[in-house]
Amino acid sequence: MLELNHVSVEFMSDNNVLAVDDVSLRLLDGSRTAIIGETGSGKSVLLLAILRLLPPNAVVSGSIAADGEDLLAADSKRMQQIRGGIISYIPQGGGASLNPLLKVGFQVGEPLIEHRKYTKRQAFEASIPLLRRFNLSHEEELAYSYPHTFSGGMRQRAMVAMGIAAGPKIVLADEPTKGLDEKRVRMVADALDLIEDETLLCVTHDINFAKSVGRDICVMYAAQQVEFGDSKEVIGHPLHPYTRNMMAAMPENGMRYQESGFAPSHDSYTDEAGGCRYLNRCREHMERCAVTPPLFDINGHKVRCWKYASSN
Ligand SMILES: Nc1ncnc2c1ncn2[C@@H]1O[C@H](COP(=O)(O)OP(=O)(O)O)[C@@H](O)[C@H]1O
Ligand SMILES: [Mg+2]
């Protein structure tokens, strides 16, 4: 289980930036969670905080624990074991991060050398059943092939296979579909579907992709969680005005999704004034929105909006 309690991240410089503000998540074993939010909402910083890969000027507060182990207290040697061994990371880029000069089997098995003390040959052998698990048939032949002989979909699956090679319990993916066309987005979703036993936490700004990979969806806006719940609930009955507007702006709902049009300016919430961060854009705002709303819990569907104060 991966547990985040009141996690905040602030970058210290002339202008301090609160990139993640009070995020709590409890990801049970085998759960699948998508975090959706526009550019700058703090998604990548949150994943990097879990992996402890933030630059030194980042101050992380709150607690992050994997199976009860406090990750913020782990020393750097232990963090190296955890990265890839217990928590793996699938980067964005559609399989482009495979090394063109190395046979696929050596790349897919590589994490086993670092994390499970396999020899090069053993790791290569172990890549074969991994490729099979990801529906790559003729897996032996493929292990000996170079990435350029793979189709886009095959590369995606090889990437995910590599991500889970060392047997991590938790898989983090940061915008794995960024810059991909619709067909390739589908391929990534299919590859991630094959992750069944591991806990998946996937960050995206694509609602449709979030819907297909996440059983739970967390919506982030301006560094905060504004909504969390079962994906069918969040997509089917969005509660937060921001989530509703985001859905209404989906292309299939008649308008083009303009990411930049929604991006909040940092000035609007780095000040100490408090209040709901969506206030200036919200058509439903009330007087009490000048006070920061807490996360209200309505039968497990959480929302940070005063409209739901009475239903709590
Ligand atoms: N190293 C850094 N130093 C200062 N600010 C940063 C740094 N990395 C990210 N930020 C800021 O933190 C905020 C959240 O960034 P990020 O998590 O990358 O957004 P997302 O992944 O949701 O697009 C942004 O305002 C970004 O400018
Ligand atoms: Mg990002």
Taking only the tens place, the pLDDT of each residue in 258-278 is 443 445 555 455 445 689 999
* Domains identified in the chain and CATH numbers: 2-96+167-308 (3.40.50.300)
pLDDT value for 273: 64
Residue 83 alpha carbon to ligand 2 centre in Å: 19
Q: Which of 28-42, 81-95, 221-235 is the least confident region?
A: 81-95
Residue 70 alpha carbon to ligand 1 centre in Å: 24
Mean pLDDT of 250-260: 54
Total residues belonging to the chain: 312
- Output the CA torsion 188→192→193→194 (10° steps): 120
Q: What are the CB-based long-range contacts (under 8 Å, 24+) for 75-84?
A: 79/51, 79/52, 81/115, 83/51, 83/53, 84/111, 84/114, 84/115, 84/166, 84/168
Mean pLDDT of 226-243: 96
Which amino acid makes up residue 302? K
Ligand 1 site-directed mutation target among 15, 36, 43, 45, most atoms within 8 Å of CB: 45
On whether the pTM is more than 0.75, the answer is yes
Which residues have C-beta atoms less than 6 Å from ligand 1? 11, 17, 19, 37, 39-45, 55, 266
pLDDT value for 177: 85
Residue 138 alpha carbon to ligand 1 centre in Å: 42
Position 154 pLDDT exceeds 50: yes
How much of the chain exceeds pLDDT 90, in percent? 68
Position 131 pLDDT exceeds 80: yes
Which residue owns the Cα nearest ligand 1 atom 4?
11
Q: Which pLDDT tens digit goes with each residue over 61-84? A: 999 999 999 999 999 999 999 998
Q: Which residue has the higher pLDDT, 178 or 93?
A: 178
Q: Which pLDDT tens digit goes with each residue over 2-46? A: 999 999 999 999 989 999 999 999 999 999 999 999 999 999 999
pLDDT value for 256: 46
pLDDT value for 253: 60
Mean pLDDT of 179-201: 86
Position 202 pLDDT exceeds 90: yes
Residue 184: band (very low, low, confident or very high) from pLDDT cuts 50, 70, 90: confident
Average pLDDT, the chain: 89
Residue 69 alpha carbon to ligand 2 centre in Å: 26
Position 185 pLDDT exceeds 70: yes
